[in-house]
Structure 1
Amino acid sequence: MVRYTNKRSITTLRGTKTTIIKVLTCKNHPDERISIQDATKAPVMPKCHTDMDVIILIGILRWRLKMKRYEIQSFLRARGISLSTGSISNRSLDCLLLFKQLHNSKKNEIKALINRKGGMILHIYGTHRSGGRVVFVLQEGLEDIVINADLIPSEAEKHVSPILSKFKEVYGSPLVIVRDMARGLRLSASNTFSKTPQQICQVHFIRNLEKDLVTENHKRLKSFIVKHKLTSRLKAFRKSEMEYDGDLKNLERCWVHVAVDYLLYPIEKHIKWISRPIPYIVQYYRIKEVFNLVSRLISWNTSNNVVHKSLTELDECLRSVLEDSQIFYYYSILDKTLEWLDELRDNLRISRETNLKDFPSEDIEVEGVLKSIRELLSRISEEGRELEGQYIKIASSINDAFESHWDELFVPNPIVNGKQVMFRRHNNGLESSHRRTRKAIRERTGRSETNREMEQFGDLLAILSNLWNKTYQKEILHDVEYLGNSLSPFINDLPELRKEYHEARKGSEMPIADEKRMDVLEDFVQVLESSKSPGELVCALQSILGAEVPVEAVY
């Protein structure tokens, strides 16, 4: 029945319209209400002046097309829709919260899909920056559907276990768990799914080897190259003016400038291997290449009675580095280490050549990989013994790391209905999605705001990504003809959802403006030093701090 009606201005996709709002209630459930309006077919929200179509549009523009708020504002204004950037922020958040509720209501559909496939591969992944909170994601690995995502303080067992336990209550145990090497994840997965095999992410495993075997030797290589003041000497060549006329010396001067740019690029761009910077060994590779070309140019100039001072100086600059025995020693160690690690990555199908892109699971034969890795590890050990010294230690470290994690690195393919289920043995898909989200946020808000924005929206964006998953569209949203109507049942939940959202993301700071903090500190001390009675003292201190504290807490 109609509880009451009122008039309200509603912003629709066709501009702002005055409409009559009818609030309907049920006799048997008087607390449940829905609002309908006659301006459009789109649902409306209580105390909100935009209809659902506009909210969905704003969400797509901001979260899918990565538009900034002022760009969305201009886009909407061109279509006769006038909204403040604050309203755009609020409506885009509403879109995320409503879709999460819709997703949570689809547990039965997701479970049915998992059962039809005979089980699931569960990828668990958490990411954070600079000690911030963790965006923790559970993904179904065969169809890449994000099952759940949450914001937690850390990957400690006490925070991860409750999430895995809730997952188990609804979906049961997965066929295999794919996780990184964090201790908290291992303990939580083992305690929650005691009979489920755990595959560690092979990318994280190789990354840990990179940290252990590459970082220290690269620091030493850097320290010896820096002693030659190579960077400053190379930059000095850039100070000369370039002229592209027909004079040979000017053209060779331009060549030197290009060579210098080529040599400085790894340092200026902080070139990495997987995650660790290796700019100095990359620069050394380039020094060897350029030095050979410089020698050929000097030889040509000599045979043609031409002397070019810049070329001679560049030759001396590079020669001093190449003739340094300490630099060559650490370069040789790093070069061989990276050669071995690159071969391991190639055999694991996580090589740089594929830019860590996913291979189709069915193209990877586990037995073939096991055989090739065994042969490669044997050869690495043999080469280490032949080269002696540090090489023996590095080869041994590589072999020991593989042996200690062998069962976790190569979990057998599970068997379902007599057939092997191939699966990805890394979390690169999730990590790539996370990197793309960070990049989009950085482009939209700037580097300084990226971490804060990821904490604000990272988990919600992970769930929203399902909306563009074709299997999710077909299997989970099969009954959704109009997204606005499917989101409308959760409209009344929004006040509580917003409250929970802000509560989960509030910082550790007390809600006192910075310019008032010194006044609060001074007032607190002055009141404490006064001769007030205990009861009056407590009330005064509570008033100053804006917080309630029990009497027994005051001494």
Structure 2
Amino acid sequence: MMYSGFMSIMFQPEFKECPLCGSRLVKNYNTNEKTITTLNGKLVCWERVLKCRNKGCKGNSMSFHSAEYKGLALPSMNFGIDVVAHEGGLRFEEHKTIDEVLEDLQEYGIHTNRATVSKHSDKYLALISGYQKEKIKEIRQGLAKQGGYVLQIDGTVSVRTKTLYIFRDNISDTILYSALTGNDTDDVKPLVQYISDNFGQPLAVVSDMQKSIIESVAEVFPGVPHQYCQYHFLKNVGNAILSEKHQQLGTLIRDKEIKKEIEKVQKEVEIEKKITR
């Protein structure tokens, strides 16, 4: 999706009910505007962070974030994950020099410097090698202290024939694990199982609607609420560009497209379960 010039978009969490008690989520705070440079242009955005309205629930002291917003860039970075992955692919898959990477980025309207590309290269290598595997015990303690975690799975960035999957806690924005692998369920399920083995069962899962992710989550975390966010960003863009038609568009996508696709995948998962029993 191309961003024509600068677009300003407000993101909200994909789920509206507290995963701990089921109460409605309410506004906690709004973040400041942030400009993120992506391969498709610059995006000016901010986030409305929610919390549980039930003061007796631990979710009242938690911050629930938009998976779409958090999935745009790594923590404390103003360059999109797609840019980092693109640079990494050029550097380590095509063996381009930093100067060649800079020249390539200019074709996307991105003007940066050698130091930034070098920094992004380090980030890319960390992402494809597991990211923070040495801090599992520390991260696990932090998740337990906050009362659990909401698993966010980002699998929208491709690097040549593979996909960069990033698993993070939606509440604390902590990256739990990452890997560069294929798109099939056989590729994704071991990653989800790794999360289960090391961090336990999440309060909820938020991801896009990749079939492999849906099937893997259903197998590894049966019964855990799973919220889909593939069309959430499109809905926000539609609201920014076509405000008059936004409500009709959102209803059409939600009621016909998403529901139909979810039911189709869920039926396929149930059939597979019956066959393997």
- When Rg is computed on C-alpha atoms for both structures, the one with the higher figure is 1
TM-score, normalised relative to structure 2? 0.43
- TM-score, normalised to structure 1's length? 0.23
Name the structure where helix makes up a greater proportion of residues: 1
Higher relative contact order (CA 8 A, sep 6+): 1
